[in-house]
Amino acid sequence: MKKISLIAGLTICVLFGAQAQRKKKNKEPEKTVAEAPKKAEAPKKPEVKKGPKPYKEVIDSTAVTQKGLMTVHKLDDKYMFEIPDSLIGREIMAITRFSKTAAGGGIFGGEEVNRQVVRWEKGQNDNLLLRSITYVIMSPDSTKPMAQAVKNSSSDPIIGNFEIKAYKKDSSGKVKTAYVIDVTSTFDADMQTFSLDPIRKQLLNIVSFQKDKSFIQKISTYPINTEIRTVKTFATTPPRISLTPMPQIGRNLPSALDAGVVTMEFNTSMILLPKVPMRKREFDARVGYFANEYDVFEEESQKSKTDVFAVRWKLEPKSKADALKQKNGELIEPLKPIVYYIDPATPDKWKKYIKAGIDDWKVAFESAGWKNAISGEYWPEKDSTMSLEDARFSVVRYFAADIQNAYGPNVHDPRSGEIIESHIGWYHNIMSLLRNWYMIQTAAVDPAARNKQFSDELMGELIRFVSSHEVGHTLGLRHNMGASSATPVEKLRDPEFQRVNGHTSSIMDYARFNYVAQPEDGVKDFFPRIGDYDKWAIKWGYSYFADAKSADEEKATLNEMTKEAYKNRRLWFGTEISPYDPRYQTEDIGDNAMKASEYGIKNLKRILPNLVTWSKENGESYSELDELYTQLVGQYRRYMGHVIKNVGGIYDSPKTYDMTGDQFEIVPKATQKEAVAFLNTQLFDTPTWMLDQNVLAKIKPENGVEALKSIQDYALSSLLAGDRLVRLTEASSMSAANYSVDDLMSDLKSGIFAELRGKSSIDITRRNLQKVYVDKLIDMLKPGKAMVRSIPVGVTYGFNTRTVNLEETDIPSIARGILTSLKGELSASSARMTDKVSKYHVQDLVARINDAFEKK
């Protein structure tokens, strides 16, 4: 019983427990190993709508807004651009300049860093693209199939992809009128278009951009431009240790050496280019303008052509009535005159002279029919709406730099050549260069030039001349190195001619000052000025042709004007890049380099003994004397270069089919012989006057013989350069009447070895010279190859080059013949030499020639 009761009780318990489990299971499912406990679900977030938001949600009441070319909104630390639909597809010039730079790197606030044309485009989705535009090839008619071929071969890079944050719509709420984008990460970053390019970074030893130390300082916007000022910091690498004394950009950045980084400020001007580009004026090699170019593919053409057009400002009448007045010979004011502002950082006493140099161009524009077309203005320092970096304003920027220079660039529309603006760079130490040039070139005649410190009036006039020259570049004018060759040398000594005309017909020449005039001549005018060529060049570039319906019609009119102008030698242009025309040289004046240089040397002989007095200052070292003597030697060396270019020279006078005469002419034999005779007399016959020990003993431990030898070596190397010898060889093959390589070597031998005709001794300077000459002749037995350059007709810049194997020409044969003849003369003269060192010298030269002949 007990056993049964026990079993029965257990059964009851089990049954009861099962019932209890069933009841519990109905309330909460039993957990198993396979089932993990479920987490409580988080409340769902409202879905974020992708794409643009309503305008007022993006540009809310906290936005600080400026309206202009691109409306700018600032929200906290973000900058938003509102791009109007009318701006989509328009060309915009982005010009970036330094606002502030690190000291010591050869870069200065106000200088241009980068310029590119950019364009906003609609992307595939709700985004805008920013492209960089490069003008290489063009098609004039976008409706023709050829235009598509051009597009297929000229894809422009995308430099920015911007999500559209909001659309601005018109009053109906249906038409989109503008696109809002966030540009913060573009301008506080290191995008090349608005920053330094890779090459400049290498020069500055920059290795990386420091994002955390860079930011947007401010953005301002105006009707046709938007200005972005940024601060950028870059990490740098230390410059390599070098023994080279010449400083290089980036080598001497103290902040980079101290901190390992450099911080600079930049200003980017985004300025809208004209919707319809200015009519192009086709480049003409007979008039010296800078030019732009691209290849043009036309539907009906059988080959592409290169469209080359002049760079110039756009001047147009205010009305048709004014245009008619101008056509009838009346001067009129242009709709938009050219204005250059003077940097307020310029020392006050020089401002008026820089301004005068700008205003001097007024008379040139009058020749083109314009009154008050150009002016210099003082910067309105109290006007907060104006910025020196703003691309709407052209400025003469003054740099606190020890560089002896100034420069005049321009920024122009690459589609048409229209100049947009210009920032002339003016370095403080240009005054040192002007003092040195003027003293060394004119002090023999002008007493005002005989002082270590020039008067403010004289220095001011020198500054005025440079100002005019640099402004000329910003008007589109190139250097006209041939202008001074239109003035006969004797006219340079004529006081009345100089008073009326000056010593060069163009201020765009590197003619500097009148170094030919002699003390007895009575000349008082030594400066370049706006001359006949400058007036003609402005007339060519800036005349307005109201009746011309196309660039081709203008070209026809201009061609007739140019042919007429070509009758006056003073109106010719001489390119600054000619490797062979002796009329086109820097720092020369007059139509005959030999005569002009002889007069110049006479004045140097007068100046040299006075340099000690003119540079004197108690308590100071002789460093000033050293500088002036170096300048004098440099001037003498330039005279030699002017003469040398006549040898193997070719006159290059640009012509067109409808003009008479050939473009290229060999320099006459008589002129080339005159040049070599000058060198034999003025350089190779020792110029002992240069070895003035009263000067040299104060500035150099040596006596000047080696310095003289270096000039003689330079002259011989230049005379016997491969390209010159090739021109001489080719010219003499055309006619026996032309100067030849044999003529040159024979004339040189006759002058350099004049002692062999009877003298019993040879002084040290002549011995040095003779060794140099013999060694150069020996080198010509195995002359190698020469690169010969020539300027293609009708181009702006650039050369054609060809390589000539000189060993396959007559040059080694002539050199061997001259050495053989010389060897005989040396051997014969040895017995006559009574001076022991001279005898050794002659015997050594014979041995050198024998050794050269014996070499396999």
Mean pLDDT, consecutive 10-residue stretches, the chain (856 aa), reads 38 39 44 49 61 93 95 96 96 94 84 93 93 77 64 81 95 91 96 92 90 95 93 86 52 76 94 95 95 74 76 97 96 97 96 98 98 97 85 90 87 93 92 96 98 96 97 97 97 98 97 97 96 98 95 96 96 95 97 98 98 94 96 97 98 95 96 98 96 95 90 96 96 96 96 88 94 96 94 82 94 96 93 91 96 84
Secondary-structure percent of the chain, ordered helix, strand, coil, rounded to 5: 40, 20, 40
The reported pLDDT for the residue numbered 150 is: 63
Rounded Cα–Cα distance for residues 248 and 729 (Å)? 41
Give first-to-last CA distance, the chain, whole Å. 140
**How far is Cα of residue 603 from the mean position of the Cα atoms in its chain?**
34
Name, in order, each residue with C-beta under 8 angstroms of 693's C-beta and a sequence gap of 6 or more: 703
Instruction: Give me 104's structure tokens.
Output: 């010591």
Rounded Cα–Cα distance for residues 315 and 551 (Å)? 15
Instruction: Give me 465's structure tokens.
Output: 């001349």
Rounded Cα–Cα distance for residues 682 and 7 (Å)? 145
Rounded Cα–Cα distance for residues 586 and 36 (Å)? 93
3-class state of residue 225 by DSSP: strand
**Residue 179 · residue 128 · CB < 8 Å:** yes
Rounded Cα–Cα distance for residues 639 and 516 (Å)? 11
Sign of CA dihedral 396, 400, 401, 403: positive
Largest alpha-carbon pair distance within the chain? 166
CA distances from 645 to 206, 574, 707, 788 (A): 43, 15, 22, 15
- CA-closest candidate to residue 573, choices 685, 478, 482: 482
Burial of 129 (C-beta count, 10 Å sphere; 0-12/13-18/19+): middle
233, HSE (Cβ side, Cα atoms, 13 Å) = 12
3-class state of residue 788 by DSSP: strand
Rounded Cα–Cα distance for residues 342 and 239 (Å)? 36
3-class state of residue 161 by DSSP: strand
Rg of the chain's alpha carbons, rounded to an integer? Answer: 38
Identity (one letter) of the amino acid at 233?
Answer: T
Instruction: Give me 596's structure tokens.
Output: 């002009």
Q: What is the DSSP string of 44-66?
A: PPPPPPPSPBPHHHHS-TT-EEE
Sign of CA dihedral 299, 305, 308, 309: negative
Looking up tokens 């420069």 gives 407
Burial of 83 (C-beta count, 10 Å sphere; 0-12/13-18/19+): buried
Element (H, E) at 353: helix 348-359
HEC readout, 636-659: HHHHHHHHHCCCCCEEECCCCCCC
Q: What is the DSSP letter of 332?
A: B
3-class state of residue 119 by DSSP: strand
437 Rama sector, left if φ>0, alpha if ψ -120 to 50, beta otherwise: alpha
**Residue 696 · residue 709 · CB < 8 Å:** no
835 Rama sector, left if φ>0, alpha if ψ -120 to 50, beta otherwise: beta
Rounded Cα–Cα distance for residues 701 and 378 (Å)? 50
Identity (one letter) of the amino acid at 201?
Answer: K
Name, in order, each residue with C-beta under 8 angstroms of 238's C-beta and a sequence gap of 6 or more: 205, 256, 257
**Residue 774 · residue 822 · CB < 8 Å:** yes
Identity (one letter) of the amino acid at 230?
Answer: T
429 Rama sector, left if φ>0, alpha if ψ -120 to 50, beta otherwise: alpha
- CA-closest candidate to residue 590, choices 518, 642, 641: 642
User: Burial code of 748-775, b = ≥16 C-beta within 10 A, e = fewer?
Assistant: bbebbbebbeebebbbebbbbbbebbbe
**Residue 129 · residue 228 · CB < 8 Å:** no
